[in-house]
């Protein structure tokens, strides 16, 4: 089983990739999407979204990182894909799955699932621009309003030359509401020959195995689940039991140091609240901490509360 850390805009940035790949179990990371309009983006944009490019495209833990692009202009996406590879990205991923309204209004992400021909043109242009030894992949949902174009979209991406396809097992309209329709991934798998990675609603080893069985895919991608249980990649592989609460608190404190020292330090209170809210799904203790922490506004107050919670956890 290969486990990929999913791209999540505004959540899984380079600091979170560093943290989660240090915990371990991931075989690949995909960046937040880099939006491409009608220009070749300057190198600084790629370094902003993927600082790992300074280290040959690897996280400090040694996990390769792939840059993800979002847009609808084949020629500009091709130029930017070529630049991403030149800078050290481990392949290029194309975002055809983002459900955000602001993105879709700009004709990016999941809205393109209504246009198989556009998918084909984009993937074909990128594949022709990127040297063959580098992977070109795409991430889709089962559709936009419905699943009527699911097979056609996958076949368009395959025929355009993509090496890999990741499928989030819901439509854009279904957003993140359960259930994920893993069996639909299996239906698509029978109609294309490229490898498929299954994604959606994987929260633990049991759901990962169920996803593998229903999708008939060995490889998976996890996003929200990894934020809820930081060692989920190891858990789904059967290497570890879920992380203890005291160890999660250690991670929250470590992450706090990252954020405060990093270029997003001013956003730290919101970022730590955002992550802790995900953690409440898997850890009962997190709910009480979240309710106390969400009213705090200053970094020193938050750090003090986390330290007190950590000390209390050691005496339970």
Q: Which of 209, 236, 263 is the last residue of a domain?
A: 236
CA distance 118 to 153: 10
225, 286: one domain: no
127, 176: one domain: yes
285, 217: one domain: no
For 107-143, write each residue's pLDDT tens digit: 999 999 999 999 999 999 999 999 999 999 999 999 9
CA distance 13 to 9: 8
221, 265: one domain: no
126, 7: one domain: yes
142, 160: one domain: yes
Q: Which of 180, 203, 236 is the last residue of a domain?
A: 236
Q: What is the CATH number of the domain that holds 292?
A: 1.20.225.30
Domain total in the chain? 2
Q: What is the CATH number of the domain that holds 164?
A: 3.20.20.70
pTM score of the predicted model: 0.95
Instruction: Indicate which residue of 98, 217, 266, 312 is catalytic.
Output: 98
Question: Low-confidence residues of the chain, pLDDT below 70?
Answer: 259-266, 315-316
24, 113: one domain: yes
pLDDT for the residue 232: 98
Owning domain of residue 293: 245-314
pLDDT for the residue 264: 53
18, 105: one domain: yes
216, 284: one domain: no
Q: Which of 236, 267, 297 is the last residue of a domain?
A: 236
Calculate the CA dihedral of residues 143, 149, 154, 158 and round it to 10 degrees.
-140
pLDDT for the residue 141: 98
266 in catalytic set: no
30 within 8 A of 237, measured Cβ to Cβ: no
Residue 16: name the closest of 27, 35, 29 by CA.
29
pLDDT for the residue 114: 98
148, 8: one domain: yes
144, 161: one domain: yes
Residue 193, Cβ density class (10 Å: 0-12 exposed, 13-18 middle, ≥19 buried): exposed
For 231-271, write each residue's pLDDT tens digit: 999 999 999 999 999 999 999 998 888 766 655 556 788 88
pLDDT for the residue 312: 87
146, 169: one domain: yes
């Amino acid at each position: 089983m290969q486990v990929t850390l999913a791209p999540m805009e505004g959540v899984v940035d380079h600091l979170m990739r560093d943290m989660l790949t240090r915990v371990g179990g991931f075989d690949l990371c995909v960046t937040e999407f880099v939006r491409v309009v009608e220009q070749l983006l300057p190198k600084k944009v790629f370094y902003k979204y993927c600082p790992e490019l300074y280290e040959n495209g690897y996280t400090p833990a040694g996990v390769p990182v792939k840059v993800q692009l979002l847009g609808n202009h084949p020629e500009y996406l091709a130029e930017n894909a070529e630049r991403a590879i030149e800078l050290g990205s481990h392949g290029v991923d194309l975002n055809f799955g983002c459900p955000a309204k602001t993105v879709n209004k700009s004709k990016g992400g999941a809205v393109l699932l209504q246009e198989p021909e556009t998918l084909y043109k984009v993937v074909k242009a990128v594949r022709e621009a990127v040297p063959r030894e580098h992977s070109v992949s795409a991430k889709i949902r089962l559709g936009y309003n419905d699943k009527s174009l699911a097979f056609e979209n996958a076949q368009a991406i395959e025929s355009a030359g993509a090496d890999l396809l990741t499928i989030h097992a819901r439509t854009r309209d279904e957003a993140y509401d359960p259930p994920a329709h893993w069996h639909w991934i299996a239906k698509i798998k029978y109609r294309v020959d490229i490898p498929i990675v299954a994604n959606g609603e994987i929260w633990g080893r049991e759901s990962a195995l169920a996803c593998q069985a229903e999708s008939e895919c060995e490889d998976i991608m996890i996003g929200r689940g990894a934020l809820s249980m930081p060692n989920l990649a190891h858990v789904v592989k059967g290497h570890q039991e879920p992380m203890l609460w005291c160890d999660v608190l250690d991670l929250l404190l470590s992450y706090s140091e990252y954020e405060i020292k990093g270029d997003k330090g001013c956003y730290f209170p919101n970022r730590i609240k955002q992550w802790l809210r995900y953690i409440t799904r898997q850890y009962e203790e997190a709910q009480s901490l979240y309710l106390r922490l969400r009213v705090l506004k200053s970094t020193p107050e938050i750090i003090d509360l986390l330290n007190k919670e950590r000390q209390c956890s050691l005496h339970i």
